[in-house]
Amino acid sequence: MPRLGRVVQLYVELADREASELDELRRAGRQQPVLAAVLRAAQAVLGRSSSAPSADAHFTDLGGDSLSALTFSNLLKEIFQIDVPVGVVISAANTLRRIAEIIESEVETGSQRPTFVTVHGGGATEARAADLKLAKFIDASTLAGAAALPRPDGPIRTVLLTGANGYLGRFMCLEWLERLSSVGGKLICIVRGRDAAAAAARLESAFDSGDPALLAHYRELAAAHLEVLAGDIGEPDLGLDAATWQRLADTVDLISHPAAMVNHVLDYDQLFGPNVVGTAELIRLALTSHIKPITYLSTVAVVEGDATIADEDADIRVTSPVRSLDDRYATGYATSKWAGEVLLREAFDLCALPVSVFRSDMILAHSRYRGQLNVPDIFTRLLLSIIATGIAPESFYLPDSGPAHYDGLPVDFTAEAITTIGAEPCAAFRTFNVLNPHADGISLDVIVDWLIAAGAPITRIPSYSAWFTRLEQGIRALPERQRQHSLFPLLHAFAAPSEAINGAGVPATRFQSAVQAAKIGPDKDIPHLTPDLIRKYAADLRSLNLV
């Protein structure tokens, strides 16, 4: 047989063996050793045909991403007939051995956790606000006693923060540490990790971006006012032992909840565990021992560009009672945050739980600390792609559509605003659209002007379609590391010019009034974008060796 033909035959035989292996895994089901099945499933999904992975490896360390994790999750469900969400698969706290232990526990005891199916029904193509009742998530005795619990009284001295190692969360962590240091208080952060030391190391690494002043400031505050717990909001009791859970229930004064699995590709059912069940667990904590106000970070994607839904005074259950579970980009994530808002409305109705919801849009780089920008977001990817390819369109907007505005806010302002407003004594349910509402004509075109003025060698291309074609070609030619962080996976978002909107397009009246009343930020108002911030973007990208 010719050599090429033999190579092809070997690949066919390998594919047949892998398919046979998967069929055998499915047939054996719950009768096979769980750990062995998990390892074999990971080996098949990740294409590791030559060797089985270590039981103590993390799925992502083996090269897995959110899409391969979805395949792995679905395969484990086929084998064991239980849900193993993507969040469990890619959690920093979960090795393959730990995933097997979770499956064993579920198989032995039978899961009592709410799931997409138990809440919305199997095969549902819509999510209804009427389905999202607290009784499906929280035990009856907790709900029955909530209205009689003691109310918030006195200063905030102990705060529970989720998502502290996330991009916004780290600066909310810093804001709270600064605020609590003045009253001798404590910030408690739940971070995923195999133990408290590993969780604390993950949190500290978020501040270690090449700016020694930031890291030193964090360490000084953390030494006296921070406690880091290894946990996971998507697990029962937040992944904590019973004694720690009860301690939090007894001592925490306020819950700040920016944590979420932020993934714009996964469907709602895969995000249901961490983003919906996790929020319900925090509501349960807020309704145990005494009432604890909740600050909840949502997303402007919840409003779907509908002014009625976007109304800061409206009840989301009335303005958006049904969500279509289609395959549009980021629909799953937006629906999961919508569901969190619905559950918090239910809690407010139950016992007047104080809630502050903040619907954020694009969160930009820190205005001062070096290296602190959100590399995966679409704005950073756009700037990187423009600088790296050296080309930009004459305009990002449709001809003759008027002046435009880019809606984005620096992360330091956003963190200060959410923390300050969320800490205000209040017995209401408040919603804030955290947007940059200024009709100031500061658009993507102006931002490119600022990059050019800062010395970036960028050529304007008169034809938008010609620019897009050359952009795609240029990105494909970039070195792997640059291409990985470029617009490459999101090119479809820039396939055609946008309609110019001079302002946020969504009302932010309550948010702006609250910012002005509290005198937040250097201007005591929502800030405009500045050339200094865009120059810092370029400098940060250089410091990270991305341009």
Residue 88 has a pLDDT of 85
169 and 262 Cβ atoms separated by less than 8 Å: no
Residue 9 has a pLDDT of 52
Domain 138-360 has CATH 1.10.110.30: no
The three-class DSSP label of residue 138 is coil
- Please name the helix (run of DSSP H) or strand (run of DSSP E) that holds residue 409, with its range, or none: strand 408-410
- CATH number of this structure's domain 11-111: 1.10.1200
- Going from N- to C-terminal start, the domains of the chain cover 11-111, 138-360, 365-409+439-507+529-543
- What is each CA distance from 418 to 184, 425, 435, 515, in whole angstroms? 21, 14, 12, 9
Contacts of the segment 136-144: beta carbons below 8 A, 24+ positions apart? 137/277, 137/280, 137/281, 137/283, 137/284, 137/343, 138/280, 138/283, 138/284, 138/287, 139/284, 142/284, 142/287, 142/288, 143/287, 143/350
Residue 542 has a pLDDT of 94
- CA nearest neighbour of 495 among 526, 473, 464: 464
Residue 11 has a pLDDT of 40
Q: What is the pLDDT of residues 243-272, one digit of tens each?
A: 999 999 999 999 999 999 888 778 899 899
Q: Which two tokens stand for residue 536?
A: 């810092």
- What is each CA distance from 311 to 308, 320, 341, 506, in whole angstroms? 5, 11, 14, 8
Q: pLDDT 10s per residue in the chain (547 long)?
A: 444 455 445 444 445 555 566 677 777 766 788 888 899 888 888 875 567 789 888 888 888 887 788 888 888 888 888 888 888 888 877 889 988 988 888 777 766 789 999 999 988 999 999 999 999 999 999 999 999 999 988 899 999 999 999 999 999 999 999 999 999 999 999 999 989 999 999 999 999 989 999 999 999 999 999 999 999 998 889 999 999 999 999 999 999 999 998 887 788 998 999 999 999 999 999 999 999 999 999 999 999 878 889 999 999 999 999 999 988 877 899 999 999 999 999 999 999 999 999 999 999 999 999 999 999 999 999 999 999 999 999 999 999 888 999 999 999 999 999 999 999 999 999 999 999 999 999 999 999 999 999 999 999 999 999 999 999 999 999 999 999 999 998 999 999 999 999 988 889 999 999 999 999 999 999 999 999 999 999 999 999 999 9
443 and 405 Cβ atoms separated by less than 8 Å: yes
Residue 7 has a pLDDT of 43
The three-class DSSP label of residue 252 is coil
Residue 74 has a pLDDT of 87
